[in-house]
Amino acid sequence: MMILAVDIGNSAVSLGYYEEDKLLKRVKVSSRPMRTRDECSMLLNSVSESFRLPPDEITGAIVSSVDPEVSGQWTRAVEDLIGRKPLILAHGVKTGLDMRIDLHTEVGADIVANMVGAASLLAPPFAVIDLGTATVISVAGKSGELLGTVIAPGVGVSVKALSSSAAALPDVSLSVPGSVIGRNTEESMKSGAVLGWASMIDGLIDRIMDEKGFDWMDLIACGGFAAQVIPYCKREIPVAESLTTDGLARIYKLNLRTGRK
């Protein structure tokens, strides 16, 4: 049984092809500019052909999205590819996640998928650090329940905003800074972006643990900027690039077992 898990983010779409619990292939494509249904269909067919993942062997699909503007085109393209409607991760879909928050409908589908994926890897209490367009830290309590999140601007968004707002500051790539204190503008901005975000994550984890009275927390990271930032955190935090689609695949199987397709 092959499952296609599609995570539609603000800047990228991740495609995960799974056989049982094994990830066969993960492909990441830009969600910008807006693609038509036909363009999305052509891209999905091209991926399937390139990696020898025949559409007729895909028995089901699940889609999560944080961007309603583009989700419809991708959802219909997935339906075109596999010949059936995908499961949409939305309020009411079984996830197995206990959410101790004010409004369940405010929790993004990506956060839910990340927490489900992390719950299969970590012991509670734990936190998922997602460094994408936004920086999101999602916290699970001692019973694995979602206690809430911390949301901050994303690394890339912040650097871009700084460059566009300050005429004297250039666009910079998020590569390794030479030192904490830069001796030129580019090095200084790299340090602020990479080391600054790593320090923010360290500090927020400390504050979360203090506030909740945790002596220890298991941690995992994902998202497009995780590989650049997480190595500079003081804690050792593993990066799981496929965490979101891993969680989606698990949610699909849960709903399949409970009779919802």
The catalytic site residues sit at 110
Helix 109-119 / helix 243-257 crossing angle, nearest 10 deg: 80
Q: Which residues contact 87 (CB under 8 A, 6 or more apart)?
A: 60, 61, 62, 63, 93, 251, 252, 255, 260, 261
Q: How many CB atoms lie within 10 A of CB 30?
A: 9
For residue 171, what is the DSSP state? P
- Whole-angstrom distance, CA of residue 218 vs CA of residue 197: 19
- Whole-angstrom distance, CA of residue 216 vs CA of residue 20: 32
Contact 2, 58 (CB under 8 A): yes
CA atoms within 13 A on the CB side of 106: 8
